[in-house]
Amino acid sequence: RLTELAEQELGEHGARWAAPDDLAQECALEAVKALQAGQIRTEDELVGHAALRIRWRAIDIVRQHQHEAGWSAVPPGHVAQASSLSGKLNRKDLAADLERRLGWLNPRDADIVMRVAIEGYTQTEVAAQLKTTPDAIRKRYQRSLQRMGVTP
C-alpha cells in the first residue's frame, strides 16, 4: 500500500530519481521509530504518519531535482494562452486541459488546486486537512493558478 502511494506521489519524473519501494520502506521505518518513541499509538496513525512522510519526501525529491536541472514549474514552450479555464471549450476539453495543467505542478500543489477548485473545499478547510495555515494554502493556491496560466 505504501509503495503504491510512493509511486503515485513521485509520479513519472520522481520515479527517475528515487525507487518507490525504497521511499516507502524508509518512511515506514521512520513511522515505526515514532511508534516505539510513543509518538504514535494506533496502526491507523502509523500508516498515516508513513503516508505523510512519503508525500513530503516525494515533494522534496522532485523539487530538488527540478532545481538542480534548472526546470521551471511550467514546461518550456508552454505559455498560458487563456486567462481562465472557461471559454468555448466543452467539458471533455476542459477536463483534458485541467489534467494537463495540473501536471505542471508538484503533487502537493496539484492536490490543493483539486481540493479547492474541483472538490469545493474552502482554503481554510484545506489548511485544516493538511495541518497548515490558511495563508500558506492561499499563497500556494494563487501561485499554482499562476503556474497553470489561470487568473485567480
3 state SS of 77? coil
Q: Which three cell numbers stand for residue 118?
A: 474541483
Segment among 20-29, 44-53, 69-78, 137-146 with least mean pLDDT: 69-78
CA distance 10 to 15: 6
Q: Which residue is associated with the grid cell 508538484? A: 106
Q: How far apart are the first and last CA of the chain?
A: 36
Q: In this structure, which amino acid lies at residue 58?
A: A
pLDDT of residue 55: 82
If you search the block for the grid coordinates 490558511, which residue do you land on?
134
Distance CA 135, CA 127 (A): 8
Residue 139: per-residue pLDDT:
93
- In this prediction, residue 69 carries a pLDDT of 55
What does each C-alpha distance from 69 to 19, 89, 136 come to in angstroms?
Answer: 19, 35, 26
Average pLDDT over every residue of 8-17: 76
Q: What is the pLDDT of residues 56-83, one digit of tens each?
A: 788 777 777 665 655 444 343 333 333 3
pTM over 0.75: no
What percentage of the chain has pLDDT greater than the value 70? 75
Nearest to 107 by CA among 151, 70, 73, 72: 73
Q: Which residues contact 90 (CB under 8 A, 6 or more apart)?
A: none
CA gap 51, 9 in Å, rounded: 10
Contacts of 121 (CB under 8 A, 6+ apart): 115, 129
